[in-house]
Structures are given as C-alpha cells and as structure tokens.
Amino acid sequence: MFGQRCVIISSPKYLKELFSPSVHSPFLRRLPLTSGFIELGMDKEGLLLNCDVPKWRHNRKFFQQSLSPPSFLQLCTKYTVEYCEEIIGYWDCIKDDEVIRLDEWFRAFTSDMMGLVASGSKETSMKIQFMKFTNQIYKEKKIEDEKNKGEIYRRLRSEYADALGFYIFVPKLLWNLPFISVAAKYYKNILNYLTEFEIQFIKERKQQIKIEKDYNISDQNSKVRPDFLTMLITQNTEDDPSPDEIKQNIREMFSAGTGTTTTTLCSIVYLLAKYPEHEDRMVKEILNVIGNDDQITTSNLSKLPFTEAIINESMRLYPVVPITYRYSPDQNTKIGDYHFNKDTIFAINLSHIHRNSEYFENPDQFILERFLGNWKERIPKFAFSPFGHGMRNCPGKNFSMAEMKVILATIYRKYTFKLVNPNEPIQFKFTLVNDISKMEVYIERRK
Ligand code: HEM
C-alpha cells in the first residue's frame, strides 16, 4: 500500500500499542506522505492525513478545544433541532406511497447543518432536494443560486470531495497522461478557487470579531456567528492558528463530519425497519423522556440509553470507517510478540473486529442488550471502536453522537420508514470510508 508493506490487524488483542493514548507513541501518523496529500495541502495541515506530528498536535489542540465547550454543543443541538423542523416541513408534503432517496436527504441535511455549524454558511441543500423531488422550477433556482455565496460554497465543497478521491487514489505519475491531465487541472482549479473563497471569509470573520473588541460567544446581541470558525479564530494568538490551518480544519469538519453521519443514520434506519420491535421501544423512550412536541435539549440527550444502544449496535454492524490506519516511519515497532520494521503500515480492520464472536455472541445479529447497562465493563475497549481510539481517535465523537440522537428523537416521533426493497442488503460504496450508495424508503406519518 502506497509502496510500503501493509499488515492487517484483525484482533483487538494487538491494538494496545497501535491505539496507545501516549504522546510518545510511535504510531502518531495515520499514513505515509504521498504526492496527493501534498497537492491537497493535507500533509502538514489539518488532522486527517497530516503526517507532520508537531503540526498535527497543534491543529488537534485547536480542533478539540473549539468543539468541546458545552455552550457550543448546546448551540449545535439547537441548530440540529431547527434543521429537523425544516426537513419535517418538506417530508410532511410527501405522500406515504412516494419513494424517497433517504441517503440523498440525509446528505443534504448534514451538509446544510455543517455549513451552519462550521462557518455560519446558510445553505439550501434540503430545499434543492425538495425541489428536485417535486420537479419544481429547479432551473430558475439554479440561476438564482449563482449569486448565493452559501450555494457556491456548497458546490465547491462537493467538488472538493471528488478532488480528495482523485489525489488520494491516482498516483502523481499518471497526472500528466491524456484525459487524466484534464481531471488533474480541473481539480487543481477547484482547490485554488475553494482556498481563495475560504481565506476571504476567514478574513471577513476576523474583521468582524476585531470590531467587537470584547467578543464573547454567549453574548446574544453579538453580530458574530458563534460557530466553529469563530471558535477557532477566538483561540487565536498572534495569527496562530494561521488562516491556512483554520481553512483546513473547517474543510475537515465537512469532509469527516457529513458523509460519516449520513451513512450511520441510514444504517440505523435500515436496521430499525428490519427490527420494528426495537423501533417501538426507542420511540417509547423518546416520548417518555422528551414528550411528543417538546424541544430537545442537551440535558435530556443523556437520558436516552436505548436510543444510544441502537446507534452503537448499528455502528458495530456497519462501521462507517471499516479500516483505520497507523504508521511508524521513525522506528521499528513491536505489536504483541511480533517485531516490525519501521515504515510498516498497519490497517486496523474495524469491521472484522466488530463481528468477532469471542466478544459478541451471535455477532451478525442486531442485539441491543450488548450496549445496555454497564456495557463498557463487559465489552473490551478495543473490540468496539467506531470512532477509533488513542491519540488519533475521532474528535467529532461527542458532537456526532449528540447530533444523531437529536435527529432520531425528532424524526421518529413523527415518522416511521419502510424499506422499498426489504430483502436487499444495505448498499455501501467504499472510498476511504463506507459511503451509503442508495437507500430508498417510504415515509409514514405516525398516527
Ligand atoms: C458517525 C459519525 C462519525 C464516525 C463514525 C467517525 C469515525 C471516525 C474514525 C473511525 C476516525 C479514525 C479514528 C482513528 O484512527 O483512531 C475518525 C477520525 C476523524 N474524525 Fe470522525 N467520525 C464521525 C464524525 C465526525 C465529525 C462530526 C467530525 C467533525 C466534527 C469528525 C472529525 C474527524 C477528524 C478530524 C478525524 C481525524 C482525527 C486525527 O487524525 O487526529 N468526525 N472519525
């Protein structure tokens, strides 16, 4: 893999070293440096593919600190509720016998939601999804959107997702070949245009914050949006993190936070459609804790253990990141009793580990009791790793768990979903993650 020896790890027994929480761990890198990562600017910026350990640590600190204040999580809950209300407004216009592409709807939802949470960009993916569905004057909307900043940003991000695939999977050697060179040039332009766009709005936000000298995130009267971008800028001392670092952190909030949540939500809906008795129990819990119409708050999210078990068991069966990697270029390493030369890539096969019968009885079945009660004492830590572990685990874990609980609680109070093809297995396409490819459902309103 990437020209290096790759060892696949399929047992949690060998994860202690690879998932070590120590800053001195030799496994602080995910993958070796490639020309594609350099072209994307991800080799030294952001987190996901950052190969420069001091720079990665610097970014990780800012990324994590920006996501963690309770006031920020509360705000994200509020935004999620608002967007759920928007999606309900559209879904209420859809008849019970009409087929909808749930994967597309959740993709639109998570994209609009991230737009707002990451950079205050108010976008219209759900509106467009609805217009497409109802064959409304989509063309006119398109022309109107040419001038809409949020819409330009949304499209650039979507092109960026394709550029990521290109630069990660197509080796530099091939970039000058006919046809491929056209794509290489096109994606280069997209990257440049997106960077220009992002640097400009970072500059504008910085100026806004400067005008309000004593800016405080909880000030209701402030004109500055209290989002991830503002959080990153307000931790800033002497232009640190730099605009380029801020830009990459925002990009990764989108690229790591939208597809993952979309796919996990689709897996949950798929499994609940197959196990209606679990759905009934979840809805009862939601109605008991939150009620039928009341707004969801962060404090009642912690009172939904059954809903949480559903999310966990779905992520066990269908982990959106089926394989994660660790890499040690500086020193030879030892995993269990085995010695490895430096430069070995370790591919940690999470989807295989999650179905190991040593830790999960009847591993292919959807059994919620596994994740009820004191499950953290029963299930060994590394046997269940939907968000990874150790120094490079997922910094968006709490955010996405809260987001998914709010979405489930809000939409399942109103609707139930029936699979159009109940006998078909769920379909994913694998890029670096498992991405839901198509999921067709009927929406039924609850009586
Ligand atoms: C259901 C939702 C999500 C799942 C299942 C998920 C899963 C993962 C996994 C398995 C990893 C690799 C961990 C490791 O190698 O140990 C990861 C990394 C990462 N995730 Fe998530 N993620 C989700 C949502 C999010 C969200 C919402 C964000 C942003 C707010 C995010 C940001 C990141 C970043 C930046 C990394 C790279 C961390 C680093 O290398 O230091 N993820 N995620």
**Which residue ranges are tagged as binding site?**
394
Cα 4 off chain centre by: 28
| Three-state SS at 8 | strand
Q: Which residue has the tokens 């999210």?
A: 301
CA atoms within 13 A on the CB side of 86: 22
Q: Which atom of ligand 1 is nearest to the CA of 56?
A: 41
Domain extent, residue 11, equals 6-445
Atom 7 in ligand 1: residue holding the nearest Cα: 387
> For the segment 125-162, what is each residue's pLDDT rounded down to a tens digit?
899 899 888 876 555 555 455 557 777 888 888 888 88
Is the C-beta atom of 324 inside 6 A of ligand 1? yes
Average of per-residue pLDDT across 284-296: 88
Q: Is residue 259 part of a domain?
A: yes
In angstroms, the CA 56 to CA 285 distance is 41
Per-residue confidence (pLDDT) for residue 349, from 0 to 100:
97
In angstroms, the CA 399 to CA 354 distance is 22
Q: Is residue 412 part of a domain?
A: yes
| pTM for the predicted model, two decimal places | 0.93
In angstroms, the CA 9 to CA 7 distance is 6
Q: Are the beta carbons of 395 and 60 closer than 8 angstroms?
A: yes
CA atoms within 13 A on the CB side of 88: 19
Q: Are the beta carbons of 47 and 62 closer than 8 angstroms?
A: no
In angstroms, the CA 145 to CA 150 distance is 8
Q: Which residue has the tokens 């430069």?
A: 343
> For the segment 45-98, what is each residue's pLDDT rounded down to a tens digit?
999 999 999 999 999 998 998 888 888 888 889 899 999 999 999 999 999 999
Per-residue confidence (pLDDT) for residue 137, from 0 to 100:
56
CA atoms within 13 A on the CB side of 81: 14
Q: Is residue 419 part of a domain?
A: yes
Kindly tell me the burial class for residue 422, based on how many C-beta atoms sit within 10 Å of its own C-beta (0-12, 13-18, 19 or more). Answer: exposed
Is the C-beta atom of 392 inside 6 A of ligand 1? yes
Q: Are the beta carbons of 246 and 202 closer than 8 angstroms?
A: yes
In angstroms, the CA 58 to CA 55 distance is 5
Helix (H) or strand (E) holding 204: helix 180-211
> For the segment 345-391, what is each residue's pLDDT rounded down to a tens digit?
999 999 999 999 999 999 999 999 999 999 999 999 999 999 999 99
Q: Is residue 235 part of a domain?
A: yes
> For the segment 10-49, what is each residue's pLDDT rounded down to a tens digit?
999 999 999 999 999 999 999 998 888 888 888 889 999 9
| Three-state SS at 172 | helix
> For the segment 236-276, what is each residue's pLDDT rounded down to a tens digit?
666 677 888 899 999 999 989 999 999 999 999 999 999 99
Q: Are the beta carbons of 396 and 256 closer than 8 angstroms?
A: yes
- Banded model confidence at residue 183, pLDDT cuts 50, 70, 90: very high
Phi/psi at 4 (5° precision)? -120, 160
Alpha carbon of 315 to ligand 1 centroid (Å): 13
| Three-state SS at 215 | coil
Q: Any idea what DSSP says for residue 254? A: H
Per-residue confidence (pLDDT) for residue 136, from 0 to 100:
66
Helix (H) or strand (E) holding 233: helix 228-234
**Which residue ranges are tagged as binding site for heme?**
394
Q: Residue 300 has which token pair? A: 């009642």
CATH value at residue 264: 1.10.630.10
Residue 326's beta-bridge partner residues? 346
- Banded model confidence at residue 222, pLDDT cuts 50, 70, 90: confident
Q: Is residue 273 part of a domain?
A: yes
Helix and strand totals (H; E) in the chain: 18, 10
Q: Is residue 210 part of a domain?
A: yes
Q: Is residue 1 part of a domain?
A: no
At what angle are helices 125-133 and 70-91 packed, to 10 degrees? Answer: 10
Within 49-179, residue ranges assigned H as helices are 53-67, 70-91, 102-119, 125-133, 138-145, 149-169
Average of per-residue pLDDT across 291-312: 89
Q: Is residue 145 part of a domain?
A: yes
Is the C-beta atom of 398 inside 6 A of ligand 1? no
Q: Which residue has the tokens 């963690």?
A: 68
Alpha carbon of 393 to ligand 1 centroid (Å): 7
Peptide bond into 241 cis (omega under 30): yes
- Number of other residues whose CB lies within 10 A of the CB of residue 115: 23
Mutate to test the pocket of ligand 1, among 31, 315, 346, 387 (most ligand atoms within 8 A of CB): 387
At what angle are helices 397-414 and 305-317 packed, to 10 degrees? Answer: 110
- Number of other residues whose CB lies within 10 A of the CB of residue 301: 21
Is the C-beta atom of 321 inside 6 A of ligand 1? yes
Per-residue confidence (pLDDT) for residue 142, from 0 to 100:
57
In angstroms, the CA 29 to CA 47 distance is 10
| Three-state SS at 314 | helix
Q: Bin 387: left if φ > 0, else alpha if -120 < ψ < 50, else beta.
A: alpha
ipTM: 0.99
Kindly tell me the burial class for residue 207, based on how many C-beta atoms sit within 10 Å of its own C-beta (0-12, 13-18, 19 or more). Answer: exposed
- Number of other residues whose CB lies within 10 A of the CB of residue 245: 21
Mutate to test the pocket of ligand 1, among 260, 327, 384 (most ligand atoms within 8 A of CB): 260
* Amino acid occupying residue 139: K
Total domains in the fold of the chain: 1
